[in-house]
Copies of this chain bind each other. A is one copy, B any other.
């Protein structure tokens, strides 16, 4: 069950500057070896459900080790058929512009 997953997470007790926390998550994502898109409002990864959820859990666990409250926002998109959709979805729209 391959999915594209888009997520962001915030500690609520660390003030308004969060880039050190985000950088820690991006490192975890990079170490996973999964394809990813990193943008200002969230990061997308593509892979099997178990793989992508393991990455989200690792990011969440790491953040809560030194944060008392953490919120996560996540979207997942499954479509029957071949993987590699993260790139194809964007291309398919661009062809129509």
Binding site for B on A (CB under 8 A): 1, 4, 6, 8, 10-16, 18-20, 22-23, 26-27, 30, 37-42, 44, 49, 53, 57, 60-61, 64, 68-80, 85-87, 89-90, 92-93, 95-97
Contact = CB atoms under 8 A, between A and B. Distances in A.
A37 B68 CA distance: 24
B40 A4 contact: yes
A53 B12 CA distance: 22
Contact of A73 (B1, B69, B75, B79): B75
A89 B69 CA distance: 13
A94 to B, nearest CB: 8
9 contacts: A10-B71, A12-B18, A19-B96, A26-B97, A27-B97, A39-B39, A69-B77, A71-B77, A74-B74
